[in-house]
């Protein structure tokens, strides 16, 4: 290549695509602030060729492996929208439910292990020890329900945290997920003020 314009033209026509990985100091970080350590660099990459290669792209001709490059190249890009949002306001469960329904879709309902993994990734940034989920106790029937109306089939309860009929009348309890440790579900009085996770599912 003779100059940067040749590189840019080749990149656009050669199938190079931006991904959300960039370098800050000597550390590569994801633009969505996730803490994934997964890397898929092409052989010899990242090499900071010529200096200033602080962004990452992927090329279809290198089996999807990544390359570091300068951030001002003109490339197509891939967007990823996570549908879970950690809200770092401290609200009661009812306030959190209202906030999510007004600004997103709902408090998150965890129907599968896959959604639980996403929740576990999101809660790491919380400023409270637990984070509200869309999980509430239907005491009369001795069951837990999601705000979506579904019964809880997938379980991730911490030991001793499922409310029984004998004590559920003492406090109206809701479900939260621990932001540290094993990130298991716990039941708390709904008046506690916690961060919470909204969903766009």
Query: How confident is the model over 17-50, as pLDDT tens digits?
Result: 888 889 988 889 887 666 667 888 999 999 999 8
Per-residue model confidence as pLDDT tens digits over 1-17: 333 333 333 334 457 88
Task: Quote the tokens at residue 182.
Answer: 């094993």
Is residue 96 domain-shared with residue 178, that is, in the same domain? yes
Is residue 19 domain-shared with residue 105, that is, in the same domain? no
Is residue 174 domain-shared with residue 191, that is, in the same domain? yes
pLDDT band at 169 (very low <50, low <70, confident <90, very high): low
Question: Whole-angstrom Cα distance, residue 50 to residue 53?
Answer: 8
Is residue 126 domain-shared with residue 71, that is, in the same domain? no
Last-in-domain residue among 45, 77, 109: 77
CATH number for the domain spanning 186: value is 3.10.100.10
Is residue 97 domain-shared with residue 161, that is, in the same domain? yes
Per-residue model confidence as pLDDT tens digits over 107-123: 999 988 878 888 988 89
CA-closest candidate to residue 89, choices 193, 199, 200, 179: 193
Is residue 176 domain-shared with residue 101, that is, in the same domain? yes
Number of Cβ atoms within 10 Å of the Cβ of 100: 24
Last-in-domain residue among 21, 50, 77: 77
Instruction: Provide the pLDDT for residue 11.
Output: 39
pLDDT band at 191 (very low <50, low <70, confident <90, very high): very high
Can you say how many angstroms the Cα of residue 161 is from the centroid of all Cα atoms in its chain? 25
Q: Is the distance from CB of 175 to CB of 158 less than 8 angstroms? A: no
Q: 29 phi and psi, to 5 degrees?
A: -130, 155
Structural domain of residue 45, as residue ranges?
A: 4-77
Task: Quote the tokens at residue 33.
Answer: 């602030």
Is residue 95 domain-shared with residue 171, that is, in the same domain? yes
Question: Per the confidence metrics, is the pTM higher than 0.85?
Answer: no
Is residue 147 domain-shared with residue 170, that is, in the same domain? yes
Last-in-domain residue among 52, 77, 102: 77
Question: Whole-angstrom Cα distance, residue 71 to residue 7?
Answer: 13
Instruction: Provide the pLDDT for residue 41.
Output: 92
- The number of domains in the chain is 2
Is residue 170 domain-shared with residue 125, that is, in the same domain? yes
DSSP character string of 66-118: EEEE-TT---EE-----SEEEEEEEE-HHHHHHHHHHHSSEE----SHHHHHH
């Amino acid at each position: 290549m003779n100059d940067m314009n040749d590189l840019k033209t080749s990149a656009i026509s050669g199938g190079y695509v931006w991904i959300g990985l960039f370098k800050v100091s000597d550390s590569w970080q994801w633009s969505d602030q996730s803490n994934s350590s997964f890397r898929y660099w092409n052989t010899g990459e990242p090499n900071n060729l010529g200096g200033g290669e602080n962004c990452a792209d992927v090329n279809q001709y290198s089996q999807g492996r990544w390359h570091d490059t300068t951030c001002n190249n003109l490339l197509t890009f891939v967007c990823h929208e996570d549908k879970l949002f950690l809200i770092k306001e401290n609200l009661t469960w009812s306030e959190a439910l209202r906030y999510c329904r007004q600004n997103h879709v709902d408090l998150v309902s965890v129907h599968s292990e896959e959604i639980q993994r996403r929740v576990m990734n999101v809660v790491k940034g919380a400023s409270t020890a637990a984070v509200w989920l869309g999980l509430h106790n239907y005491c009369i029937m001795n069951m837990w329900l999601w705000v979506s109306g579904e019964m809880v089939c997938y379980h991730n309860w911490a030991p001793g945290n499922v409310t029984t009929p004998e004590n559920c009348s003492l406090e109206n309890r809701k479900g939260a997920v621990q932001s540290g440790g094993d990130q298991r579900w716990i039941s708390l009085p709904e008046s506690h003020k916690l961060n919470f996770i909204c969903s766009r599912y």
